[in-house]
Amino acid sequence: MTLIEKPVVPFLSESDPGERQAWQTALPSALAPFAIVKPFEDLTENEKASARVAIVANPDPKKVAELENLEWVQSLWAGVERLAVDLPADGPAIVRLTDPQMAETMSEAVLAWTLYLHRDMPAYMAQQRQKLWLPHDLKLPSEMTIGVLGLGKLGQSAATRLSANGYVVNGWSRSEKTVPNVDCHHGDDGLKTVLSRADILVVLMPLTAATKGLIGRDALACCKPGVKLINFARGPILPETSLLEALGTDQVAHAVLDVFATEPLPTDNPLWEHPNVTVLPHISAPTITATACAIVASNLERYFSSGKIPQSVDRIRGY
Ligand code: NAP
């Protein structure tokens, strides 16, 4: 009987040591039936040369380049804008993590923080600090329009959940889309329509050359005065200077921000202390180790048995 050797799958990560260790424990047992997962640092030269696929979480691109025969990398993150910039266009295909559990978690976060804004929680928290008993008028969800920018895996799930809660939901994507109970728009005119209707605007697009700075001064000026924002995508889509300016004129009434150009948000950043900003430490939809490992294992097992690489990032579009 001949023993078939299991392929070695490199794991590359420059994430914090705790996160790296959690993956280094979970991934080997998830892939154990068909592959051996090894940290990049433990690979032999032979293993580096024979690696066809690697699992990555914020990897050092120089180390990825040392794996000369890689066909693809499986990211443990849903947003892969850094990989798309760091890895050469003719380098390995980039497969991002698409986890239905993450879409569920994100849609729950979008509903939670939409309710936080809709039910005036920032105002009531401020009033409590002043011992001020002052009820505000309540709008029904059906009287409020939520704009969702990005109708991908996360945006569609969030838009559907918002609409199930009774909100009027408008969505925007690059290409034309149909989502039940969501008024879908696309293209430049579509963006203006969604911006001009929204009481609350939720940003759920990937960071690409086309979306960087997209919700800046001009876009914010197209919104209803007093619009409220939720950015759960990436910081640079909504430039901080434009946001602070729009908060200063009350064009934007409140912003819930989970993502920033620099993370962790530096302690001297004015957003921390702005009364109309809620700062969250990138927690709206964290990767869940158990479900992510199952998805990664299934992608790699299929590749080793059939040679099929999962759908990868379009390097020209950038997502
Ligand atoms: P996705 O499935 O790739 O969907 C992206 C959506 O954005 C698509 O609807 C796409 O349009 C649209 N889009 C892209 N570029 C556009 C442009 N230039 N103009 C208009 N629409 C554009 O991505 P996803 O899984 O929903 O994730 C979205 C982002 O969420 C990720 O890239 C990541 O940055 C972020 N994220 C954040 C967290 C967190 O914890 N804060 C967690 C996970 C992910 P088409 O449909 O026409 O392609």
Say if strands 277-279 and 53-57 run parallel, antiparallel, or are unpaired.
Answer: unpaired
Mutate to test the pocket of ligand 1, among 108, 154, 178, 283 (most ligand atoms within 8 A of CB): 154
What is the average pLDDT value for the chain, to the nearest integer? 97
Q: Could you tell me the residue range of the domain that residue 26 belongs to?
A: 8-99+287-306
pLDDT (average), residues 278-284: 98
The band of 304, judged by pLDDT with boundaries at 50, 70 and 90, is very high
Q: Which residues form the pocket of ligand 1, taking CB atoms under 6 Å from any ligand atom? A: 78-79, 102, 150-155, 173-175, 177, 204-208, 210-211, 232-234, 258-259, 282, 284-285, 319
Give the whole-number percent of the chain exceeding pLDDT 70: 99
The band of 2, judged by pLDDT with boundaries at 50, 70 and 90, is low
Shortest-distance atom of ligand 1 to CA 98: 25
Could you confirm whether 282 is annotated as catalytic? yes
Q: For 290, what's the count of Cα atoms within 13 Å in the CB-facing half-sphere?
A: 1
Question: Are residues 174 and 70 located together in one domain of the fold?
Answer: no
Question: Are residues 35 and 117 located together in one domain of the fold?
Answer: no
For the sheet with 200-203, list strands across it: 183-186, 168-173, 145-149, 200-203, 227-231, 252-257, 277-279
Which pLDDT score is estimated for 4?
74
The band of 246, judged by pLDDT with boundaries at 50, 70 and 90, is very high
Q: Which of 80-89, 164-173, 250-259 has the lowest mean pLDDT?
A: 80-89
Shortest-distance atom of ligand 1 to CA 286: 40
Q: Judge whether 2 lies within some domain.
A: no
**Element spanning 277, H or E:** strand 277-279
Of the candidates 20, 52, 274, 282, the residue annotated as catalytic is: 282
Helix (H, G, I), strand (E, B) or coil at 101: helix
CA of 138 to the centre of ligand 1 (A): 32
Question: Are residues 266 and 181 located together in one domain of the fold?
Answer: yes
If one counts the domains in the chain, the total is 2
Please give the model's pTM, rounded to 2 decimal places.
Answer: 0.96
Could you confirm whether 185 is annotated as catalytic? no
The band of 197, judged by pLDDT with boundaries at 50, 70 and 90, is very high
Question: Are residues 25 and 53 located together in one domain of the fold?
Answer: yes
Question: Are residues 166 and 80 located together in one domain of the fold?
Answer: no
pLDDT digits (tens, 9 = 90+) for 23-82: 999 999 999 999 999 999 999 999 999 999 999 999 999 999 999 999 999 999 999 999
pLDDT digits (tens, 9 = 90+) for 73-113: 999 999 999 999 999 999 999 999 999 999 999 999 999 99
Return the CATH number at 292: 3.40.50.720
pLDDT of 270 > 70? The answer is yes
